[in-house]
Chain A
Amino acid sequence: MILILAYCAVLLSFASGLLALMMVQRNSLIAFAHYFFQKKLGNNKNCQALIFSSLDEHRFPVLLRQAVFVLLGLSGIFAVLAGLGVLVAKEVIKDQLNLGLPWLPWHVRFDSLSGFFFLIIGIAVSAVSLYGPGYVNGYHENRHPFAVLGLFTGFFVAGMLMVLLADDAFFFMIAWELMSVASYFLVAFQHEHSANRRAAFLYLLMAEVGALAIILGFGVLASFSDGFTFDALREAKLSTTWASIAFVLALLGFGMKAGIVPVHVWLPEAHPVAPSHISALMSGVMLKVALYGLIRFCFDLLVEVRWQWGVVLLLLGTVSALGGILYAMMQTNLKRLLAYSSVENIGIIFMALGLAMIFMANGHPQLAALGFLAALFHAFNHSLFKNLLFLGAGILHHQTHELNIDMMGGLIKKMPQTSILFLVGCMSISSLPLFNGFVSEWLVFQTALQVDVLDNGVLRSLIPVAAAALALTAALGAACFVKVFGLIFLGQPRSRSSEKAHEVTDKGMLAGPAILAALCFFIGIFPGVIISLINSVAGQLLGQTMPNDSALGWLWLAPVSAEQASYSPPLVLVAALIAGCISFWYLRRNPATVMRRAETWDCGFGGLTPRMQYTSSAFTMPFRRIFAKVWMIDEQINKDRYGAMDQEVAAVHYQLHVQDHSWPRLYQPIAQGVDSLARQVGRIQTGNIRTYLGYSFVTLIMMLWVIS
């Protein structure tokens, strides 16, 4: 039953993709309808009128778009139901599909881990399908055909869902490639700009290199077992060396998709150029699918984890978290900034996973379950708030045609509803108490502070330092999102487009983010709901659940014991409301002290202009100076001078260019290496037919020699 729900989700997303293709088939649909009515029910006028009016030139695209997104939304709802079903039932469902090659049936397995990620995808897809119809209205049909967008969106979602269902390496890779290639076409959707084509190509290249690494990883496992089903791979007996090789390959492959430093470079290129609801799906969900792959590979297929792998994950996670947020801070393009912040959040998740591995390998399965829970919880939270922020960015782009945060400002008055939704997203991602981001980071801290049980001195000093790096990340994250919200929504408008902006009229475009924002707040107050779901994942995968101290009741969160740490968001909320209300009531009871509006203090010079406000580069200037080594900064100040002796300055031009270190350090050498290798190979290509005949002859001789 639950599996049927999951299949329905996959099929519905395929169907939504195929339905989108009808967009270009209006004429043939009309012809078909004529034919149909002549043959069958020529007398039913009402039905005929209904069908033909819906095929009308103007109504048809709108209706079809809505139908496509309704199917996608249904797929999301089915995914949520299937995920919840399997999480609550706590069972493992297996099945076999006779698709693909005749002797290689697709194995399907639906367990708690898949179910949890089904839940993540389902929520995101439902929100996106509410948001989508309004957003794609902005595209011109001739230049950006909806058929392409809808088709690949459907396939992309179906691919992600199928990855979660796969129970053999072949099916897994087919689904994985479907996901990667479909999302390539989505990134390349607005292909008229060369930058977008370049970003899409970079994405495809890295996705394929990653896929190669994953295939090799499966290959290592498969060579020690008889078959490609996950059941067979689990049985594989690997030596430490081979297991580590498999782990490194998987880490490279899945890490490339997840966007871990230093293989993150496709993220900030690809996310900004895709349509916003697609970047929301890519950042909020696809990265999680990569995470799923890594968890499945390390915790499930490689049965025994080593603590050294945990250290690798912890270090990579720390570097990604810090690097991600520092790079995010320097961006002025909102979607680029959000993409870098995804790198940060994936880093935090990797840290928690690394901690789980370390505790697991050192024989503390309960603490491992705690770290695992923190990782999955943060993955869930990130999918909520990052989706919310990307959809918010989409609304902003839709209304102001601008993604540069230095060109916005003052939008809180023009777009009140959007601003509240965006504020919730910013507060969640800055991990402020009462919101969901805080709970998962708190759990990561709690995991890290259990370090005292370990015997290894290096680990005992390494983990708290990583925790302090996490604290720095959180604080920088708050600074970054103060900048984002403050510059976009507060102050005075910095450009004409944001001065003339108004609230989005499409209800669905607000409803999608509103659901996500409500979930962010709800889960921040009642984290127990999700934690009990994740506990069943941990129970199935690690055989151990988090020991929530039930003595304190469901209002409390006490991951290890009530003595050690506890947090009760509902109580905190109540206390905050009491404190806020008392101060509010007490101070405003006197009618004589009603608020008065007056001009802003301008130091007596008269006339504050929007140009006097802090900009993004001004806000982050202290950070740029303190962490100068992190970026490659190119800062130029040019003055236009005039007058006698060129003493007077007419205008000052300031240029700032901040670049990622990974390009010149890592990628350009690789690119040059590939180039020079290609030139070496080019030497044997003389262009002379006799030489080629000679090669063929020698090859033939060699082959014959080998066979004989």
Chain B
Amino acid sequence: MNWLLAVIQIILFISLAPLLAGWLKWCKCYLQNRKAPSLLQPYRDLLKLTHKQPVVAEQASWIFTISPYIIFSATVLAATVVPLIAVDLPTSASADVIVMVGFFAFARFFLALAGLDIGTAFGGMGSSREMTISSLAEPAMLMAVFTLSIAASTTNLSVAISHVLDQGLVLRPSFAFALFALILVAIAETGRVPVDNPVTHLELTMIHEAMILEYSGRHLALIEWASQLKLMLYGVLIANIFFPWGIARSFAAEALAYGLLAIVCKLALLAVLLALSETLLAKMRLFRVPEYLSFAYLLGLLGLLSHIILEAAR
């Protein structure tokens, strides 16, 4: 039963991710006075791509063709770790939050290799930039996560969320810092404005798009889906760690339905905020990104120090 629930949760994760992307696009269009496509458009795009014949560059080796499957699987594995509608599912014990960061690193490793595989300048450029940004984002992210895991004395996300729920609504400065740090990292890692712009193919500013320029058909579908999944994952992380109220703690049908409703509302709200910030902000220069990420790191560090000094002082 528990395992069945875990599988259902993963399927929910995978199937809701394009919807979130559609909703985000819809919000942005509304804010920018454009006519919005249907909410289901990302599904249609994915379906269309899977029916197309993939064209692969002559230069490409097996790394290029196998990478989309690896990227997708690694992202799905990361999703198994994160509690979506219920805590204490059996899959959450198989890996903790550090392993989740490891899965992202796994996906990124192959994405960057695929970028280098075709032997064009764009691919190399994308890989180089992606690795740069991610290697600065990872410590900032772990800093935020460490704050949480030292406070809850666990790196298991499910247990940590239960801990936050048990504590009730307390205003903790460390969590506020960690929240902001995690939001900044999430924006950088999912390639949103102001770090990267997912809708542009302007060669000077591309990061993520530069690496996947040569992909088409089902390969592109998998990569797109994986990045939508990653966006949702970060959204769920932020929503469920810092505002876990509503998540199911028992496996009763009522609690689960309530949990699903809660997470859908939280994600919808987060997407509105993201659309708002994407509309208001401009993309920044590449070499401003390190400053942005070191700010995120600093916030994480402040969170940690404030936990040690203010909350756990002896």
What is the CB-to-nearest-CB distance from B110 to chain A, in angstroms, rounded to a whole number?
9
Is there a chain A Cβ closer than 8 Å to B205's Cβ?
Answer: no
Closest to A469 in B: B139
Contact present for B301 and A431 (CB under 8 Å): no
Within 8 A of B (CB), among A569-625: 571-572, 575-576, 579-580, 583-584, 587-588, 590, 592-602, 608, 610, 612-614, 618-623, 625
Assess whether B297 is in contact with A468, with CB atoms less than 8 Å apart. yes
Q: Which of B108, B117, B124 has the most CB of A within 10 A?
A: B124
Q: Contacts A486-B113, A486-B116, A613-B120 given; indicate if A567 touches B53 (C-beta within 8 A).
A: no
Among A446, A583, A596, A599, contact of B69 (Cβ-Cβ < 8 Å): A583
Given A475-B138, A565-B155, A597-B55, output 9 extra A-B contacts at Cβ < 8 Å. Answer: A434-B106, A478-B131, A486-B115, A572-B99, A587-B218, A587-B222, A601-B213, A601-B214, A614-B121
Please determine whether B304 and A464 come into contact, CB atoms closer than 8 angstroms: yes
Q: Do A583 and B73 form a contact, CB below 8 Å, given A430-B109, A565-B154, A613-B120?
A: yes
Which residues of chain A in 450-471 are interfacial with respect to chain B, using CB atoms and an 8 Å cutoff?
Answer: 451-452, 455, 457, 460-461, 464-465, 467-469, 471
7 A-B contacts, Cβ less than 8 Å apart? A433-B103, A474-B105, A486-B117, A567-B94, A567-B95, A579-B76, A600-B119
A583 to B76, CA, bound (A): 11
Q: Once the chains are docked, how many angstroms separate the CA of A432 from the CA of B99?
A: 9
Within 8 A of B (CB), among A462-499: 464-465, 467-469, 471-472, 474-476, 478-479, 482-483, 485-487, 489-492
Q: In the complex where A471-B139, A572-B77 touch, is A490 in contact with B108 (Cβ < 8 A)? A: no
- Secondary structure at chain A's binding surface: helix, strand, loop or mixed? helix
Complex contact B119–A490 (CB within 8 A): yes
Are A486 and B99 in contact (CB-based, < 8 A)?
no
Q: A580 near B127 (CB under 8 angstroms)?
A: no
Q: Are A468 and B301 in contact (CB under 8 A)?
A: yes
Whether the pair A478, B73 counts as a contact (CB closer than 8 A) is: no
Q: Main SS of the interface on chain B?
A: helix
Shortest Cβ gap from B241 to chain A (Å) = 16
- In the complex where A576-B77, A619-B124 touch, is A468 in contact with B143 (Cβ < 8 A)? yes
Which residue of chain B has the shortest Cβ distance to A558 in the bound complex? B93
Interface positions, chain B 146-173, Cβ under 8 Å from A, are: 146, 149-150, 153-156, 159
Taking the closest CB of chain B, its distance from the CB of A285, in whole angstroms, is 27
Given contacts A468-B139, A486-B112, contact A595 B56 (CB under 8 A): yes
Query: A residues 401-445 with Cβ under 8 Å of B?
Result: 409-410, 412-413, 427, 430-434, 438, 442, 445
Please measure, in the bound complex, the distance between the C-alpha atom of A318 and the C-alpha atom of B143, giving whole angstroms. 16
**Nearest chain B CB to A61's CB is how many angstroms away?**
38
A556 to B106, CA, bound (A): 21
1/0 per residue B83-96: CB within 8 Å of A? 00000000101111
Closest-by-CB residue of A relative to B218 is: A587
User: Is the CB of A626 closer than 8 A to any CB of chain B?
Assistant: yes
Report if B63 contacts A (CB, 8 A).
yes
Q: Are B105 and A430 in contact, with the CB atoms below 8 A?
A: yes
Among B192-200, B276-284, B305-313, which stretch is in contact with chain A?
B305-313
Bound Cα distance from A478 to B112, whole angstroms: 10
Interface check A646, CB cutoff 8 A: no
Count B-side interface residues using an 8 Å CB cutoff: 88
Which chain B residues lie closer than 8 Å to A51 at the CB level? none
Contact of B113 among A449, A472, A482 (CB under 8 A): A482
Q: Is A634 an interface residue (CB 8 A)?
A: no
A54 at the interface (CB under 8 A from B): no
Question: In the assembled complex, which residues on chain A have CB atoms less than 8 Å from the CB atom of B159?
Answer: 563-564
With a cutoff of 8 Å between Cβ atoms, the chain B residues found around residue A452 in the complex are 150, 153, 312
Beta-carbon contact of B132 and A626 below 8 Å: yes
Which residue of the partner chain, among B62, B72, B119, B146, contacts A449 with CB atoms under 8 Å? B146
Please measure, in the bound complex, the distance between the C-alpha atom of A491 and the C-alpha atom of B115, giving whole angstroms.
9
- Closest Cβ neighbor of A566 among chain B residues: B93
Q: A583-B222, A625-B287 are in contact. Are A482 and B146 (CB under 8 A)?
A: no
Contact at A490–B63, with CB atoms within 8 Å? yes
Question: Given A479-B132, A576-B73, A583-B69, are A600 and B99 also a contact pair (CB < 8 Å)?
Answer: no
Give the CA-CA distance A166 to B287 in the complex, in Å: 54
In the A-B complex, the 10 residue pairs with the closest CB atoms:
A614-B124, A486-B116, A491-B119, A475-B135, A479-B131, A600-B57, A579-B73, A475-B138, A622-B132, A433-B102
For B98, give its contact among A434, A445, A464, A584 (CB under 8 Å): A445
